[in-house]
Amino acid sequence: RTGGEDRETASSLVPLRAEGSRTPLHLVHPVGGSVVPYLPLVALLPSDLPVWGFEAAGLHDGEPCTDLTEMAARYVAELRRRQPHGPYRLGGWSFGGMVAYQMAGRLARDGERVELLLLLDTSSPAGDGPLPDDTELLIDFAADVAALQDADVPALDRDRLAALPPDERTAAVLAALRERGLVPAEAVDEMARRSAVFRANALAFRRYRPAPYDGVVSLLTAEDSGDHHTRRWIEANLARVEHRRVPGTHYSMLREPHLTDVASIIDDLIHGCS
């Protein structure tokens, strides 16, 4: 993990940049559970801005959480142990934005001020519908691993995977990723844990039903993601949404050449809090 804490005292909250005189920005992990995707972004944000990240249980120790409300409550408790009172600056990419949203609502109900709630290409849950099964979640995991590396998704036979026992199903997906060079042989055990975290988080998102938030949501959506993220937020009427469009896809928005533009917008939003 990024923080290097002893496992018995490990916290989900890890420093991405501990130093700085400003009010810290706290970023919640995306669906994969790791805060590593935020590191290039942090490098482009002002050097006097501390940035902390929440990593998911199950990546290094503990069991993955499949309840987003419970997850947010844990993260709020950890946040307030380090920063007892606001103002708070919260955010997250994709799934992480939804957890940050739930955290912001909880803090607001506790009488605390959230001065920035930053959602990076975060979709509001679609509502009622069947929950994905484990096979679907594993295929989604493979697609996520490939997209993070700007690679093609391995061809996976859904029916064949569904017929396998759970452990063999995971092994088959990891083998397909390894054949494509997307998972090093020495990282198979780690990626098995990551797949469990991914599936738990994806299920938590699909189960979650957000309550209205009496505050402003700063929503940044990727141009190539289409309008569905923005439309869902507006149609759900959950919060006051300030929307900005940024270049790239859901994944490439956090890589150059698009990341500089994203960091500039976030810098503007942070300056607006000061």
User: Tens digit of pLDDT for each residue in 144-156?
Assistant: 999 999 999 888 9
Residue 8 has pLDDT above 60, yes or no: no
Mean pLDDT score of the chain? 91
- The predicted-structure confidence for 174-209, as pLDDT tens digits, reads as follows 999 999 999 998 999 999 999 999 999 999 999 999
Name the H helices within the chain. Answer: 39-44, 68-82, 95-109, 134-148, 158-162, 166-179, 188-207, 228-236, 259-273
Which option is the CATH number for 7-125+209-273: 3.40.50.1100, 3.40.50.1820, 2.60.40.3950, 3.40.1190.10?
3.40.50.1820
Residue 3 has pLDDT above 60, yes or no: no
- Cα separation, 233 vs 231, in Å, equals 5
pTM over 0.95: no
Residue 255 has pLDDT above 80, yes or no: yes
The whole-number average pLDDT for the span 231-259 is: 90
Listed by start position, the domains of the chain span 7-125+209-273, 134-204
- Cα separation, 99 vs 254, in Å, equals 19
Residue 243 has pLDDT above 90, yes or no: yes
